[in-house]
């Protein structure tokens, strides 16, 4: 995410954090700066936020990630273990059933994701599917949402990527492939 886009997202999400925690990002960041967050382990920061300010673990995690990205301590998409996760989504003019089948059925998937082997891990029909990607230890998670009878959306995350360059390439790959999926499905609408 480029800096201007990150700043805009930060401003837009500031209302939610104030409503949930009583402070906006600037106020939280000032507190974290005074406490001396850089160099402290993630768990220590989370424990401090949860104990001292009674934040939920979810808000503590969100605040830590936002702070570290804003201060240049964490590139966007990097997880606490040092791996990267990228995501993208696509809305398609087909039913959620049709979209789900196009992703989870190997023969259907071959049409828009040729030559790629993904092994099923878990799935919740019409809601989500998780896959092992090849043999590299990364994983792909997909969620599905109906947006009407003939419109649905999928959101995809590719997790455990080793570095920023791989993450950027993977994000571009998935944007291209989901565009191909959309074209394939809308060409052969039910």
Q: What pLDDT, on the 0 to 100 scale, is given for residue 102?
A: 97
Distances (CA, A) of 104 to 57, 62, 116, 171, 179: 33, 31, 13, 20, 17
Give the chain's residues under pLDDT 70: 1-14, 77, 80, 189-190
Distances (CA, A) of 90 to 51, 105, 111, 124: 39, 18, 17, 19
Q: Which two tokens stand for residue 70?
A: 């804003």
Three-state SS at 30: helix
Q: Which fold has domain 84-187?
A: Alpha-D-Glucose-1,6-Bisphosphate; Chain A, domain 4 (3.30.530)
Q: What pLDDT, on the 0 to 100 scale, is given for residue 80?
A: 67
* CA–CA distance, 88 with 101 (Å, rounded to integer): 19
pTM of the model: 0.65
Taking only the tens place, the pLDDT of each residue in 164-180 is: 899 999 999 999 999 99
Residue boundaries of the structural domains of the chain: 3-70, 84-187
Q: What pLDDT, on the 0 to 100 scale, is given for residue 3?
A: 43
């Amino acid at each position: 995410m480029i800096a201007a886009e990150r700043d805009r997202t930060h401003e837009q999400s500031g209302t939610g954090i104030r409503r949930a925690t009583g402070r906006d990002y600037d106020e939280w960041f000032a507190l974290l700066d005074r406490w001396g967050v850089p160099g402290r382990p993630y768990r220590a920061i989370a424990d401090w936020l949860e104990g001292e300010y009674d934040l939920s673990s979810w808000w503590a995690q969100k605040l830590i990630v936002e702070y570290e990205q804003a201060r240049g301590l964490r590139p966007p998409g990097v997880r606490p273990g040092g791996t990267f996760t990228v995501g993208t989504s696509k809305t398609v003019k087909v039913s959620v059933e049709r979209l789900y089948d196009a992703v989870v059925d190997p023969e259907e998937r071959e049409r828009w994701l040729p030559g790629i082997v993904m092994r099923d891990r878990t799935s919740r029909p019409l809601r989500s599917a998780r896959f092992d990607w090849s043999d590299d230890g990364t994983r792909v998670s997909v969620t599905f949402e109906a947006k009407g009878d003939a419109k649905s959306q999928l959101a995809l995350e590719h997790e455990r990527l080793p570095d920023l360059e791989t993450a950027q390439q993977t994000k571009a790959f998935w944007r291209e492939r989901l565009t191909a999926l959309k074209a394939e499905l809308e060409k052969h609408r039910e």
